[in-house]
């Protein structure tokens, strides 16, 4: 999706692409839910939070596509690795969760890694670095808001709302930026929207079948794919600064992961058989 969005951004308006990216999942998932649940398909608790979830998600996507337009693919993707540590920081304020020392270490290492990889104002345009960090912050906010309502509504309505709010907001504004796709833009836009829906659904299924601690290492596979597509499509490989930044981010992630696994093991050993 990231590689397709970066390629598309060379010829197609950013907001128009984001609009179609959310419109396709809304139509596909909305049709499925209507057939499955009838006219009450979109009912969900706490509508204000559902609206906020949709706004933060579509804003995160718009900022990330802006980052893709101004940064190499790998550098833009690096920011996703710092998102979990931003979640820890926001959770302490929004969910009253008390981060452990390991979480704060991971947060600091992650931000240092992002600054090294993006080096804003030095080799990359400032707008790209700002957009990448803004995208991570808005997406972290979306995750925290999702946590607040995750136990109150089924996963598919949650997924529908997060897409539908963004699609509705951009539909209202679409006359100002819409442009009819041409040639290769059609399959790219359809592919981005479809992959966005099924990719998010796979993520929801994964977290229903395994713990977040067990799944965390798989996030780093994204770096390998971003490197591959960056090389294959754009003939770009990460430089030494990017690799050092990634090393800091990985170190922070593994500090938090080791702490969580140790805590899970302690809970398991203390639980009667």
120 three-state secondary structure: strand
Q: Give a yes or no: residue 127 inside a domain.
A: yes
111 belongs to a structural domain: yes
Q: pLDDT > 90: what percent of the chain?
A: 15
> Domain range for residue 192?
2-268
| CA pair distance 51, 142, nearest whole angstrom | 10
Give the pLDDT confidence score for residue 199 in this predicted structure: 84
What is the pLDDT of the chain when averaged over all its residues? 81
Torsion, Cα of 266, 267, 271, 273 (10° steps): -70
Axis crossing angle, helix 240-270 with helix 101-118, rounded to the nearest 10: 160
pLDDT in tens, 64-94: 999 888 888 888 887 777 777 777 777 766 6
Look at 199 and 100; give whichever has higher pLDDT: 199
Comparing 23-37, 214-228, 241-255, the range with the smallest average pLDDT is 214-228
**Average of per-residue pLDDT across 30-57:** 82
The DSSP symbol for 220 reads G
Domain count, the chain: 1
Give domain status of residue 273, yes or no. no
Task: Evaluate whether residue 202 is within a structural domain.
Answer: yes
Where is pLDDT greater, at 37 or 267?
A: 37
207-220: pLDDT as tens digits? 667 655 566 667 77
Average pLDDT on 182-200 reads 89
* Domain membership flag for residue 245: yes
Residues 6+ apart with CB under 8 A from 61: 18, 21, 22, 135, 166
- Sign of the CA dihedral 51, 149, 136, 18? negative
More confident residue, 74 or 273: 74
Contact 29, 156 (CB under 8 A): yes
pLDDT at 128 over 60: yes
Mean pLDDT for the stretch of residues 142-166: 80
Q: How much is the pLDDT for 272?
A: 62
Angle between helices 155-173 and 47-70 (to 10 degrees): 60
């Amino acid at each position: 999706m990231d590689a397709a969005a970066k390629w598309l951004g060379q010829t197609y308006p950013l907001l128009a692409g984001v609009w179609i990216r959310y419109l396709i999942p809304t139509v596909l998932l909305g049709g499925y839910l209507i057939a499955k649940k009838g006219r009450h398909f979109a009912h969900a608790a706490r509508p204000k939070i559902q609206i906020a979830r949709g706004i933060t998600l579509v804003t995160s996507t718009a900022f990330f596509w802006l980052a893709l337009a101004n940064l190499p693919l790998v550098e833009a993707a690096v920011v996703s690795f710092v998102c979990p540590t931003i979640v820890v920081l926001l959770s302490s304020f929004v969910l009253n969760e008390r981060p452990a020392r390991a979480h704060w270490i991971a947060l600091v290492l992650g931000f240092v890694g992002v600054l090294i990889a993006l080096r804003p104002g030095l080799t990359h345009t400032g707008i790209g670095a700002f957009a990448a960090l803004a995208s991570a912050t808005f997406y972290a906010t979306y995750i925290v808001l999702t946590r607040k309502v995750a136990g109150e509504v089924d996963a598919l309505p949650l997924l529908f709302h997060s897409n539908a709010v963004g699609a509705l907001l951009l539909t209202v504004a679409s006359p100002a930026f819409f442009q009819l796709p041409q040639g290769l833009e059609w399959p790219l836009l359809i592919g981005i929207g479809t992959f966005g829906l099924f990719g998010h659904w796979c993520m929801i299924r994964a977290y229903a079948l395994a713990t977040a601690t067990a799944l965390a290492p798989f996030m780093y596979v994204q770096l390998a794919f971003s490197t591959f597509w960056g090389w294959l499509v754009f003939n770009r490989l990460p430089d030494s600064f990017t690799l050092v930044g990634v090393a800091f981010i990985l170190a922070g992630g593994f500090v938090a992961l080791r702490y969580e696994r140790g805590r899970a093991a302690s809970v398991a050993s203390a639980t009667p058989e």
